[in-house]
Structure 1
């Protein structure tokens, strides 16, 4: 087979550039994921690892560490020195891992929206219909993808695997991501609508869980929607090598934001600190008592002090007794 065919009809310069930019985009998502782990490790230990008996803590760890393991496998795919046969096998595995990660994101987002609406049956049915369509298209795309073709350029001596994504296959994957984009847009719309209808109530309840979910959700869901939109556009307009380069980046960004949402929710629902060494007050059964101030001597008081007269009386009494 001519080498130009093994490169998908791309020239050496184009193939080399596409190979490099796909690695950059993967590393961008991978670094964001790792960096967020490092930044939030202290909060994770305090809010999650010390409360492992709660289902929400266990679910957080599932959403947190399964994508990290998947990204490590993807790093081998992009940076390792693998044969085309091994690359083809790993491509099937990575498609399944990406589907798993997106499922975790969808379930988490769906649960948050259902909680905001008190598990309303109409919202539940709508979410289930959209999720069923998304899962069905995802499985159909995974099955129809068939035996993935691998692009190689022996003359360039490049490491890593390069998956060929022909135009028809890219458009088929784009339809699956479009349903995902629709689901994320619906979630964003439901979150914004809930925040709009309840904004007067939220002003009266400072620091409530619902307020935290709406405030964080509107911003983070919006970022996820924009990332999915960029991925869909790349699937339509990218070439045979770059069409799918934003898929893993979008997934990494989504799971990172979902983890941040989970930590913020855990922090909002955490009990207040109980240490009182550095406080000058006492709390008993939610009633706040101010500690009495010690008696003030006359020489320590000033004329402008509201307790000056009381201090003077105490000083006179002390002198008379003496």
Structure 2
């Protein structure tokens, strides 16, 4: 297989990866639009609901727009603008995901200011690492193709790959904090006969971390082990999966309480241990927190 055929194969793979990612994002939106209307639009607009809508529609509209631009005929100048805009979209999406995960963990720990401070510091540190990866790629327009051809040299690929590594590390931190809190609250007993908010957070959190690890690890490996033409080919897929899963996680919480990710630990008199529920102020739609 000569170099031109290898180049065409790599470009086709990147195109299919983008199409699959956007298809999953759009399909999930269509599959859950009824629940979104019922549990988000038809209920008081708490901050959690606003974050859900921002995360969901920034990703949906942004990726649909980027796909349309990607499929249009490109020049070198427009291709560079496209790649820069795509990197910015990735950055915004992942910052929103990290913010939502941070708030959920903050509420899970009964709004611990110390924990929130440390998590914000970590987000800024990781965000700085990721922001430094903008524009670190080269691109050309290949005759016979209507979209940009993106490539990373081995030296350049280290930086954008590090951005995805920091996301994986932060998600591992969030997952670890969630497990620690649940084990402490439930006395290491995770199986119950009654489904409550604690079960929802554990199951959704475990599912999110497992799927994101499976999606992000191959993406990271493309930057460090792939060829110049395959590096970064799974970035769009990983980003869309992250947004899709966090939207599902938030929607599942909103099916139980309006407070969503702001749900905090309080005493449930009908259950013989501390569980996650909420007390919602109807006027402000912000839950109060009593820790026992």
Give the alignment's TM-score, normalised by structure 1: 0.74
2:99 is matched with 107
Cα deviations across residues 86-131 of structure 1 (Å, max 9, x unaligned)? 1111111111111000101100111111111112244323312321
Match of residue 232 from structure 1: 220
Is 1:176 the counterpart of 2:168? The answer is no
Tell whether 2:173 aligns with 1:186: yes
- The structure carrying a bigger helix percent of its residues is 1
Secondary structure in 1 aligned to 2:233? coil
Quote the residue 1:61 is aligned against. 53
Alignment partner, residue 317 of structure 1: none
* Matches of 1:205 and 1:139, distance apart in 2: 46
Q: How far apart in 1 are the matches of 2:127 and 2:72?
A: 31
Distance across 2 between alignment mates of 1:117 and 1:38: 33
165-174 or 48-57: which moved more?
48-57
Contact kept in structure 1, 2:164 and 2:216, CA below 8 Å: yes
Which consecutive aligned stretches of 4+ in structure 1 deviate over 4 angstroms post-superposition? 200-205
Say if 2:249 is the partner of 1:261. Answer: yes
* Aligned length in residues: 258
Counterparts of residues 277-292 of structure 1 (less than 5 Å):
none
The corresponding residue for 2:140 is 151
Contact 2:106 2:112 in 1 (8 A): yes
Match of 2:265 in 1: none
2:31 to 36, 39, 46: 39
Superposition map of 1:3-22 within 5 A: 11-22=3-14
What's the C-alpha RMSD, in Å, of the aligned pairs?
Answer: 2.2
Query: 1: distance between equivalents of 2:199 and 2:55?
Result: 23
CA 1:241–1:77: 2 relative to 1, 3 Å: farther
Residues 161-220 of structure 1: CA distance to partner in whole angstroms, max 9, x if unpaired? Answer: 112212111111111221111101111111222232333477679343233212211221
Pair 1:48 & 2:40 matched: yes
Question: Within 2, Cα distance between the matches of 1:44 and 1:92?
Answer: 31
| Residue-by-residue CA offset, 1:280-320 (whole Å, 9 max, x unaligned) | xxxxxx9xxxxxxxxxxxxxxxxxxxxxxxxxxxxxxxxxx
* 1:77–1:161 contact (8 Å) kept in structure 2: no
8 Å Cα contact 1:224-1:253 kept in structure 2: yes
Flag the structure with larger Rg.
Answer: 1
